[in-house]
Chains A and B, each alone.
Chain A
């Protein structure tokens, strides 16, 4: 599988965030998107996820399932964790498994992996910021998507959580997945670096 962008321009609110960006990620590879604040790291991930439209250029995925769009084969882990405080931890996760569809594994197993199985029946409102992030990560494990788009994925995670997440990323790459992560902190795995925004 190969995810590539050619001559991508991103314009937001009349301001050019970045222009003429080329990138390529293949199966089993992780790319860390780095750059100063406001350089467009989040915008790039949202462009790939189909949540923004590029002003110019194209982003394509080759070698995936033919009938599905790029967005339908991608997980997006953003700043906001898409959790409903009124629902329990396992209700939140089961909803995304049923709604997102595709190949899925047992939510209970993913909860155990991110060490939240003790809280499965509790409302998500009771979780700390780090636990909410872990629950979002459990979503990536429960529903299979080859492309992971991660925006500051280790935010709010403690050292143990960061280590755990690094190993999960490693597993995903080993299974032939590909990852693009916008990050300030090292991911804990070997990753190619893509710089955005500081072409001055």
Chain B
């Protein structure tokens, strides 16, 4: 337990210090969402209707693009070698790193959602629904994205390749995230069903992601 909490504390600390990228994700989210009205026009009724979709797309892109350095930073300075050799199973270390990343980069997105909801003319209920679905769904994005981040170490490149690899995997999360938000806002379909599936996807990611990432990292050692 000491080992895991030490790893979580270290990763969050690095993300928040100078040179860390935690806040850049929120800024990216903000910028992507602000861009949308310029493309589709400032019609408030239209924005309110598209709002949940825009927020979900923004959060999806923001949480995946910040994952780029999840493992490459540790690989480049040799920390990953020591993490692999340690007495903590690599799968657990991967899971903990993903959790730390979600706390530092994913949670701020959800905190920023109300402000963006205001810009998109979503009412309080709708904003709360989107924030709730993001809270349930972004962990799934982090855990699938983690697999891509581990592959980026193996392939010695990240960035766009990572996005191309991972974005198709995150389609289910997008589908059920937007479906649940829409259901909460407009009805008449139920909110519970897609929301439960969203939670299930996050839990599924929590189980599969670390194993896939650890396997990929082990293959990539050199």
Taking beta carbons and an 8 Å cutoff, which residues of A are in contact with B? Answer: 12, 46, 49-52, 68, 71-72, 74, 76, 78-87, 91, 94-96, 98-102
9 contacts between A and B (CB under 8 A): A12-B222, A49-B85, A74-B85, A81-B77, A82-B81, A84-B10, A86-B18, A87-B14, A95-B10
With CB as the reference atom, state the residue of chain A lying closest to B80.
A82
A85 to chain B, nearest CB (A): 8
Interface pair A82/B87, CB less than 8 Å apart: no
B23 to chain A, nearest CB (A): 14
**Cα distance, A83 to B85, chains bound together (Å):** 16
Interface pair A78/B81, CB less than 8 Å apart: yes
List of B residues within 8 angstroms of A76 by Cβ: 81-82, 85
Interface pair A84/B86, CB less than 8 Å apart: no
Interface pair A51/B81, CB less than 8 Å apart: yes
Q: Is B164's beta carbon under 8 Å from chain A?
A: no
Q: Counting chain B CB atoms within 10 Å of each CB, which of A83, A96, A99, A100 scores highest?
A: A99
Taking beta carbons and an 8 Å cutoff, which residues of B are in contact with A? Answer: 2-3, 5-7, 9-10, 13-14, 17-20, 76-79, 81-88, 221-222
Interface pair A87/B10, CB less than 8 Å apart: yes
With CB as the reference atom, state the residue of chain B lying closest to A80.
B78
Q: A12-B222, A99-B7 are in contact. Are A72 and B86 (CB under 8 A)?
A: yes
Q: Counting chain B CB atoms within 10 Å of each CB, which of A71, A84, A91, A96 scores highest?
A: A84
With CB as the reference atom, state the residue of chain B lying closest to A136.
B78
Supplied contacts A81-B77, A94-B6, A101-B3, 13 more A-B pairs, CB within 8 Å: A46-B221, A49-B81, A51-B81, A71-B84, A72-B86, A72-B87, A80-B78, A82-B78, A82-B81, A86-B17, A98-B6, A99-B3, A99-B88
With CB as the reference atom, state the residue of chain B lying closest to A83.
B77
Q: A82-B82, A86-B17 are in contact. Are A102 and B77 (CB under 8 A)?
A: no
**Cα distance, A72 to B84, chains bound together (Å):** 9
Determine which of A51, A86, A94, A102 lies in contact with B20 in the assembled complex, contact meaning CB atoms within 8 Å: A86
**Cα distance, A101 to B87, chains bound together (Å):** 7
A137 to chain B, nearest CB (A): 14
B215 to chain A, nearest CB (A): 13
**Cα distance, A123 to B10, chains bound together (Å):** 14
Interface pair B78/A84, CB less than 8 Å apart: no
**Cα distance, A81 to B82, chains bound together (Å):** 10
List of A residues within 8 angstroms of B84 by Cβ: 50-51, 71
**Cα distance, A100 to B93, chains bound together (Å):** 11
Interface pair A80/B87, CB less than 8 Å apart: no
List of B residues within 8 angstroms of A94 by Cβ: 6
List of A residues within 8 angstroms of B20 by Cβ: 86
Q: A51-B84, A99-B3, A99-B6 are in contact. Are A82 and B17 (CB under 8 A)?
A: no
List of B residues within 8 angstroms of A78 by Cβ: 78, 81
**Cα distance, A50 to B83, chains bound together (Å):** 12
Q: A87-B10, A99-B3 are in contact. Are A52 and B82 (CB under 8 A)?
A: no
With CB as the reference atom, state the residue of chain A lying closest to B3.
A99
With CB as the reference atom, state the residue of chain B lying closest to A81.
B78
Interface pair A68/B85, CB less than 8 Å apart: no
List of A residues within 8 angstroms of B79 by Cβ: 82, 84
**Cα distance, A101 to B10, chains bound together (Å):** 15
List of A residues within 8 angstroms of B83 by Cβ: 99
Determine which of B5, B18, B87 lies in contact with A68 in the assembled complex, contact meaning CB atoms within 8 Å: B87
Interface pair B82/A84, CB less than 8 Å apart: no
List of B residues within 8 angstroms of A96 by Cβ: 82
List of A residues within 8 angstroms of B5 by Cβ: 98
With CB as the reference atom, state the residue of chain B lying closest to A74.
B85
Determine which of A86, A91, A100, A101 lies in contact with B19 in the assembled complex, contact meaning CB atoms within 8 Å: A86
List of A residues within 8 angstroms of B76 by Cβ: 80
Q: Counting chain B CB atoms within 10 Å of each CB, which of A50, A85, A86 scores highest?
A: A86
